[in-house]
Structures are given as structure tokens and as C-alpha cells.
Amino acid sequence: MIQLIQNAKQYLDRIAIRSNKYAYTYQQLLQDSESVAATLLNGKADLQEERIAFLVTPSFEYVQLQWGIWRAGGIAVPLCTKHPFKSIEYVINDTKASVVICSKEYEELLRPFKKRADIRFILTTEIKAAQCDLPDIAMDRRAMILYTSGTTGSPKGVVSRHQNIEAQITSLVTSWEWSKDDHILNILPLHHVHGIVNILSCALWTGACCEFLPKFYAETVFDILKGGAVNMFMAVPTIYYKLIAQYNSYPPEIQKDISTALAKFRLMVSGSAALPISVLETWRTISGHTLLERYGMTEMGMAISNPYKGERRPGHIGKALSGVQIRIADEADQVVADGQTGEIQVKGPNVFQEYWGRPEATKKTFTADGWLKTGDVALLDDGYYRILGRNSVDIIKSGGYKISALEIEEVLRTHPLIKDCGVVGVPDEEWGEIVAASLILKETNNPIDIPTLQTWLKDKLPSYQIPKLYIFQEDLPRNVMGKVTKKALQKMFS
């Protein structure tokens, strides 16, 4: 029994989704998702974990498809609306999806799949109201395949079972005190755990309302946030940066209206990438809120979070969430002492089951005693975890030192001429790697002198952490979640 869907029966008359200027109740969601399930089953008793790929904009339509796939016994494979055809084709071929569903706006992009004999192609307009007998879905069934960003290799399909998703939801509902009175704006992509679980599924679990804005416009976001209905907001650091820029463009009277509205919110969260302390502090000045930073990944949902009630420590990701075990381990998977650096390793019912079709990759990502190896380096600092970066891209090994790229970035961002930056290690015969920095300036007509910058850095960083290579860019290479793609940045230096 999928408890998320069962819960909806308690809230039939409440508004579940707001999208495209319409409001949809939980009753409508149950009815329309059953119609999707009937269309997919097409006379079958159970899809038996067939992979169903779908491409629609974030909306009520997305939710009815997701729930319909689950209610029919299928595995949901949400596709990214911003990906080119080749990336979408990779996911569909890798999962061996038997059905592809899309809305009219993506029909032309996905047209090649209409010609394939091994795929049933369905337009959302072809789904008609229908009822049918639905299979009983056990919680150990596979439910969803989400693809990793591919920043450290080719994308892998992360398989979560219904019980993993439920554990991820209930952990956040407990820790962040969700209730049916909450109303959250969802502006995040729905092929990623942040938008799917942290926002959409947590809202629907508790009878709350999830409002979609399919495309981000800072001005529109502020209009909605000022409206008084929304009381929760979650975004990636890039979004907060853009909102701050928009806020700064307003006259004082509009700024005051925005700040007054934001101060009434219950919770504001940042995640999916490291939050610059400068952004946290500026947003706190604007909204009165200290953004709640948390830590997670596709393979486990969320695992660590600053507290909903209590100190939210800048530069730290917080403490283990309800029901999740955390340890910091060395390269031999032995637990290190508090204050020492090591890899974050996770165990709990939230952790994924496997990489789709990749048993060796699955085996390598777990320790012999069953802990998930995240590849992220951190330390336990007075009860709070502080992340230093990702083993492969954010930890630079230079001259025998292990250097955190994230810590150097934080310092560079405090320079009055620097808007943003990205720091990576570049291979070097003598040092192993040398520190390299890409700088985004606040004003292109106000250049920065590198020798002067390096002198400025000497008061703030040890000499071995000061970048030796610099490039200037208009923006950093990013994936669809706004996370800097460090591998792409490294290539720019080479």
C-alpha cells in the first residue's frame, strides 16, 4: 500500500495543487491518477515494474502521471524538460522504458519514439477519464528511477523503492514539522529529489498545498511570495542570488513590502549546492530568515539538516535527520575522531537500493558493512557537520595538502569586486594539482588586478591555498539545478 496516496483520502476537499491558474483538490488528484493508471494498464492487472518515462512541465499533470504510474505498478522515470534529445534518449534506452508519455509541447522533441516498435507513445491529451481495478502495491517494489547529474561520470539511474521514498518523506515531515496548513511554492525541476520529495511529496503527505511555477522569473516569484498564501519556500543558492539581485533593483517601498511578507513565512530552505555565507547573510537581512541548509543526494534523499528549531550555523549542514545514521570515515572506512576530516557515510531506510543495471557500481558505492559512501568530505564540528567538498572535484590534492575548494570560494566571494567564483584543481607535474580560480566580476568595466588580489588573499588563506591560475568568465558552467559543473570548469583551464 502506497501510504502517500492513501493519505490523500483524508483530505479529499482540500487543495492539493495549484498550477496554471487552476486549483486541484486531492479528490481530483485521486480520480485523474486512476485514469492514468487505467490507460497504462490497458487491460493488464499490474505493470509489474515496467519503466514509464514521462515529460511534462511542472504542474498538476506531472503529479497525476507520477501517481498513476505508481498506482498501476510501474516505475516512474521523470525526464528533464531542459535536456536535449540525446540525453533523454539515453535515459529511455538505459531504463528500457516500455511507455513514453508527454504533453503536446514535447511531442515534436520526442517524435522519434513514435516510430519505435518497443515503445508505446502516449500524449497526455489521449488520457481519458476511466476507472479500473488497481493492483496492491507492496512497499518493497521499485518506484522511481532518477538520474545522477553525471558530474563525475556518465549518468546512473538511481532506483528507489516505495519504502525508501516514504522514509525520505517522513524524515523531513518530522524534522521540519510539516502540516496540512502549509502552502509551498515549487520552482524546482521535477526530475530531481529536491523538487519531487522535499517539496511536492512532503506537501501531499500532510494534506498541504503545492503551487507550481513552471518557469522561474524573479519578479513573478516575489509577486507570489507577497500574496500571503505561501508560507514555505525552498530553492537552490543560484535562485536566492537572482532573487537578491531583483530585490536590489526595486525602490525602497517595494523592498519593504517584500521584507514584511517574507518575515511571516514559516520556513525557508537552501540546498542542492553549497550556500555562500554572503548569500545567507544578505537573504537574512532581506527576509528576517536564516536559510535552513541541509545535505542530501539522489541516492538517499536528505540525510543531514540544520534544525527547524535551534541554531542554524552558517557554513554547516547540520545534524543527522530523524531515522538516519551518519558517520565520518577514512579511506579504509574506519570511523575518524570528531573534528577530523573524512567521507560522509550514511545508513538508513532512506538509502537507495541500486543503480539501474549496474551491479558493480552499486557494490562500489557501499562499504562491506552496508554504509553508503557519498564521496563527500566533511568533519563533525561541535555537533554540526561541516562539508568541505566532494572527493573528486572539491578536494584539491596539492603538494601533500588536501585543500577544500569550497573554503577558498567563500573567501574569494568576500572581495568587493567579485560577484561569484569557482575553484578547481588542475593537474600539475610538480604539485599533483594546483589551485585554479574562475572569477565572475560584479562589473566587467572594473577589472581586478591579480597580483593585488593575491596580496589580499595572503591575509586570509595559507599560501598553499591561494590560487595560482585565474580565468575570468561571465558565468560559471552549471547543470539544470544550478550546481557548478566542476569537471567542465577544469577543462577550461586545461
Instruction: Tell me what the mean pLDDT of segment 311-325 comes to.
Output: 93
Q: Are strands 372-381 and 183-186 parallel, antiparallel or unpaired?
A: unpaired
- Measured CA to CA, the distance from residue 99 to residue 115 in angstroms comes to 13
Residue 427 belongs to domain with CATH number: 3.30.300.30
For residue 133, is it within any domain? yes
Residue 58 belongs to domain with CATH number: 3.40.50.980
- Cβ atoms of 209 and 15 within 8 Å: the answer is yes
pLDDT of residue 423: 95
Number of domains the chain is built from:
2
Provide the domain limits for residue 18.
3-137
For residue 173, is it within any domain? no
pLDDT of residue 149: 64
For 65, 116, 126, 373, the CA distances from 53, given in Å and listed in that order, are 10, 14, 16, 28
Instruction: Tell me what the mean pLDDT of segment 11-39 comes to.
Output: 97
> ∠ at Cα 440 (439, 443), nearest 5°?
125
- Measured CA to CA, the distance from residue 292 to residue 295 in angstroms comes to 10
Asked whether residue 396 carries a pLDDT value surpassing 90, the answer given is no
Q: Are strands 292-297 and 301-305 parallel, antiparallel or unpaired?
A: antiparallel
For residue 460, is it within any domain? yes
Tell me the three state secondary structure of residue 280: helix
For residue 26, is it within any domain? yes
Read off the pLDDT of residues 175-219 as tens digits, 9 standing for 90 and up: 999 999 999 999 998 999 999 999 999 999 999 999 999 889 999
Last residue of a domain, one of 137, 160, 184: 137
pLDDT of residue 389: 73
pLDDT of residue 151: 46
Q: Please state which of the ranges 2-16, 289-303, 425-439 shows the lowest mean pLDDT.
A: 425-439
pLDDT of residue 237: 86
- Cβ atoms of 289 and 264 within 8 Å: the answer is no
pLDDT of residue 153: 52
- Measured CA to CA, the distance from residue 36 to residue 128 in angstroms comes to 8
Last residue of a domain, one of 106, 137, 168: 137
pLDDT of residue 276: 81
Last residue of a domain, one of 137, 169, 191: 137
pLDDT of residue 69: 98
Read off the pLDDT of residues 425-458 as tens digits, 9 standing for 90 and up: 998 876 878 999 999 999 888 889 999 999 999 8
Read off the pLDDT of residues 107-155 as tens digits, 9 standing for 90 and up: 999 999 999 999 999 999 999 999 999 999 999 999 999 998 654 456 8
- Cβ atoms of 201 and 233 within 8 Å: the answer is no
- Measured CA to CA, the distance from residue 311 to residue 77 in angstroms comes to 38
- Measured CA to CA, the distance from residue 94 to residue 114 in angstroms comes to 18
For residue 294, is it within any domain? no
Residues 6+ away with beta carbon under 8 Å from 326:
303, 304, 320, 344, 345, 346, 385
For residue 412, is it within any domain? yes
The pTM (predicted TM-score) of the whole model is: 0.84
Average model confidence (pLDDT) across the chain: 93
Asked whether residue 313 carries a pLDDT value surpassing 70, the answer given is yes
Note the helical H segments in 249-370: 252-262, 277-287, 359-364
Read off the pLDDT of residues 226-236 as tens digits, 9 standing for 90 and up: 999 999 999 98
For residue 91, is it within any domain? yes
Checking phi first, is residue 432 left (phi over 0); if not, alpha (psi -120 to 50) or beta?
left
Asked whether residue 274 carries a pLDDT value surpassing 80, the answer given is no
Structure-block grid coordinates of residue 457: 588573499
For residue 443, is it within any domain? yes
